[in-house]
C-alpha cells in the first residue's frame, strides 16, 4: 500500500514542505531511501528498525521504498524519522491515511522509540500553520512551536503516543506558553565612572541604530561601555522576537527553558573567529555571528586583529541588513540587521596619544596598524570616537552618572519619533536612504555652509557626509526638536576620529 505524510526541510531560516511517500511491496527485503537524503536522513532506517521493535510494532520484512519529494531539494537533519515512521505504519494499515494526512511531522527517534528534540521547530511550525496542518512534534520542541499563534500542536513523548494521537485514542497535553521574563538584569551605565562622551555615543547609537567604533588605550573602559549598550536598547517586539528566534532555532541554540528571545542579542565573537563563523557558511551554509546578532548588537573587540576578509564581508550586511552566503551547492540569504559596536587600540602597543604611558610605535607602525581597517568599512561606522584612560583621581572622586533606565527612556522617545516619521516599525535614522535624508534632514543656508566647509576640511566621502546628517538627525530627535541645528551638526562632526589628521 502507498502511504503519504508531510514533513519539512530547513532552507536558511525557512522550512520547505516535503512529501514523504512510502511503498511496501513484495520482493527481497530491503529499505531504499531516495530524494536527495543527506547524512542523518540516510541513517534513519537503522533507527526506525529498532524504534519499531521497542515500541511494539513489527517492522515489515518486505521491500520498502521511501521517497522524499521534491527530489531536487536536499534533505538534512534527523527530523524525518517521525514522518517516515508514520508513513510506514500507514502503509502497514496500522494507521488510517486520512487521519495521518492532517499532520505535519517533525522528530528524531531514539532506538527505544522516544521522540527527541530537533533544531528548526519554529520555522517548521510556521510552515504547518501556512499549510493548515496540525504539528506533531517532540515534547521538548512544543514550547518553541507554541510561539506560532493560531497553530494546533500535538506534542508526543514517543512513537506509540504519536500513533495514539492520530487514532484519537489519547488526547494531546496542553502546551503551556511559559515565556521568559522581559526584564532580564543587565549591566548598568551607572557603574561606569567618567567616559561621558562614550556614554553619549552609546545613547545616540541606541536611539538611531548607528554603528560605533571606540579607540583608546588598554583599560580605558571600551569593553565596559560596549557591554552596557543592551541595557539602553528597547525590548524586541513580538515580530522581531519571532524573526530573531527563528535564526537561533535553525542554529540549534534554543533551550526548553528559553524558547524565545525577548532580549536583543549581544554577540561578541573572538578575533580568531573564522570567516564562516562570522558571516555564515559551512555545508549546508548556516547562520554566522552577524545573523545571530540580528536585531541586536555585534561587538568586535580588537577590531584590527580580525581577518581582513571577514571584516570586508561586513560591508554588505551593514548596508543592506542581509548576508548572502553562496556555496557550490546552495546560496542562502540570512537576515543580518545589527548595530556594529567595535573597539580597538590607537596603535599596536596601545598607548599612542596616552598621557600616562609613552607609545613605543614608530609613525609607520601606527599608520600600518590603523590601515588594517579599510576606508570603505570605516565609512560605514557612523560614530568614531576616542576613549581616553580615566585618571585614578577621577575614579575615586567622581559621582555615579545616569543609570541605564533613565537613558533608555530618552532612547524610547527618540525611536517613537522615528517610527512616526517613517511609518515603519523598526526603521531608524541609520537606515535612511539618500532621498529620505534630503526629505528629513533639511538644513538652513548657514548650517549647510558649515557642513560643507567641515566636509572639505575633513575630506569626508559622500557616504560619510550622509552619515553625519543621520547622526545630527538622531541628536535632534533625542532633544525632541523638529529641525537640525548647528550644535547638532557640530556634535555629529566630533564623532569622526579617523577623518582627523594623524599627526
Asked if residue 460 belongs to a domain, the reply is no
Shared domain check, 213 and 138: no
Asked if residue 499 belongs to a domain, the reply is no
- Tell me if 496 sits within 8 A of 458, measured CB to CB: yes
Q: Residue 352's CB: how many other CB atoms inside 10 A? A: 21
Give backbone dihedrals phi and psi of 299, rounded to 5 degrees, phi first. Answer: -105, 120
DSSP reduced 3-state for 285 = coil
State mean pLDDT over 374-390.
Answer: 91
**DSSP class of 281:** B
- Name the nearest CA neighbour of 345 among 324, 330, 360, 326: 360
CATH number of the domain encompassing residue 251 = 3.40.50.300
Shared domain check, 62 and 127: yes
Shared domain check, 205 and 159: no
pLDDT band (50, 70, 90) for residue 498:
confident
Shared domain check, 261 and 125: no
With a threshold of 0.75, does the pTM exceed it? yes
- Domain count within the chain: 2
Shared domain check, 64 and 125: yes
pLDDT digits (tens, 9 = 90+) for 174-212: 887 655 555 567 889 988 888 889 999 999 999 999 999
Shared domain check, 203 and 159: no
DSSP reduced 3-state for 394 = helix
pLDDT digits (tens, 9 = 90+) for 57-110: 999 999 999 999 999 898 988 899 999 999 999 999 999 999 999 999 999 999
Q: Which domain holds residue 75?
A: 2-167
Last residue of some domain: 423, 445, 462? Answer: 423
Shared domain check, 259 and 123: no
Asked if residue 379 belongs to a domain, the reply is yes
Compute and round to an integer the Cα radius of gyration of the chain.
28
- Tell me if 37 sits within 8 A of 68, measured CB to CB: yes
DSSP reduced 3-state for 213 = strand
Amino acid at each position: 500500500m502507498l502511504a503519504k505524510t508531510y514533513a519539512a526541510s530547513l532552507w536558511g531560516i525557512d522550512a520547505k514542505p516535503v512529501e514523504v511517500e512510502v511503498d511496501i511491496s513484495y520482493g527481497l527485503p530491503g529499505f531504499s531511501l531516495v530524494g536527495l537524503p543527506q547524512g542523518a536522513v540516510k541513517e534513519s532506517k537503522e533507527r526506525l528498525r529498532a524504534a519499531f521493535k521497542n515500541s511494539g510494532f513489527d517492522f515489515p520484512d518486505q521491500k520498502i521504498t521511501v521517497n522524499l519529494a521534491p527530489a531536487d531539494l536536499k534533505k538534512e537533519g534527523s527530523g524525518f524519522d517521525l514522518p517516515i515512521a508514520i508513513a510506514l505504519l500507514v502503509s502497514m494499515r496500522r494507521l488510517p491515511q486520512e487521519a495521518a494526512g492532517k499532520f505535519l511531522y517533525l522528530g528524531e527517534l531514539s532506538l527505544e522509540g522516544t521522540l527527541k528534540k530537533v533544531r528548526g521547530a519554529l520555522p517548521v511550525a510556521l510552515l504547518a500553520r501556512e499549510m493548515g496542518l496540525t504539528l506533531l512534534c517532540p515534547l521538548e520542541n512544543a514550547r518553541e512551536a507554541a510561539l506560532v499563534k493560531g497553530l494546533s500542536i500535538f506534542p508526543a513523548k514517543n512513537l506509540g503516543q504519536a500513533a495514539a494521537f492520530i487514532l484519537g485514542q489519547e488526547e494531546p497535553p496542553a502546551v503551556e506558553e511559559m515565556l521568559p521574563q522581559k526584564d532580564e538584569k543587565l549591566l548598568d551605565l551607572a557603574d561606569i565612572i567618567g567616559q561621558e562622551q562614550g556614554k553619549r555615543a552609546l545613547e545616540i547609537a541606541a536611539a538611531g541604530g548607528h554603528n560605533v567604533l571606540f579607540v583608546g588605550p588598554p583599560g580605558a573602559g571600551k569593553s565596559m561601555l560596549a557591554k552596557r549598550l543592551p541595557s539602553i536598547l528597547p525590548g524586541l517586539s513580538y515580530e522581531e522576537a519571532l524573526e530573531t528566534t527563528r535564526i537561533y532555532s535553525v542554529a540549534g541554540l534554543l533551550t526548553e527553558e528559553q524558547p524565545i528571545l525577548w532580549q536583543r542579542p549581544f554577540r561578541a565573537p573572538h578575533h580568531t573567529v573564522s570567516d564562516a563563523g562570522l558571516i555564515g557558511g559551512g555545508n549546508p551554509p548556516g547562520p554566522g555571528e552577524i545573523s545571530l546578532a540580528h536585531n541586536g548588537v555585534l561587538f568586535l573587540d580588537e577590531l584590527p586583529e580580525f581577518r581582513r576578509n571577514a571584516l570586508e564581508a561586513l560591508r554588505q550586511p551593514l548596508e543592506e541588513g542581509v548576508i548572502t552566503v553562496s556555496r557550490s551547492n546552495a546560496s542562502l540569504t540570512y537576515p543580518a540587521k545589527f548595530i556594529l559596536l567595535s573597539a580597538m587600540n590607537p596603535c599596536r602597543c596601545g598607548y599612542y596619544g596616552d598621557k600616562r604611558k609613552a607609545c613605543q610605535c614608530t609613525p609607520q607602525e601606527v599608520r600600518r596598524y590603523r590601515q588594517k581597517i579599510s576606508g570603505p568599512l570605516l565609512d560605514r561606522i557612523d560614530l568614531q570616537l576616542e576613549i581616553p584612560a580615566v585618571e585614578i583621581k577621577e575614579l575615586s572622586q567622581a559621582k555615579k552618572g545616569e543609570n541605564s533606565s533613565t537613558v533608555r527612556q530618552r532612547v524610547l522617545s527618540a525611536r517613537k519619533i522615528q517610527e512616526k516619521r517613517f511609518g515603519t516599525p523598526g526603521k531608524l535614522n541609520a537606515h535612511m536612504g539618500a532621498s529620505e535624508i534630503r526629505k528629513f534632514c533639511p538644513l538652513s543656508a548657514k548650517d549647510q555652509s558649515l557642513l560643507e566647509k567641515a566636509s572639505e576640511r575633513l575630506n569626508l566621502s559622500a557616504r560619510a557626509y550622509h552619515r553625519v546628517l543621520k547622526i545630527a538627525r538622531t541628536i535632534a530627535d533625542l532633544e525632541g526638536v523638529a529641525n537640525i541645528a548647528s550644535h547638532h551638526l557640530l556634535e555629529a562632526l566630533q564623532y569622526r576620529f579617523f577623518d582627523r589628521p594623524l599627526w
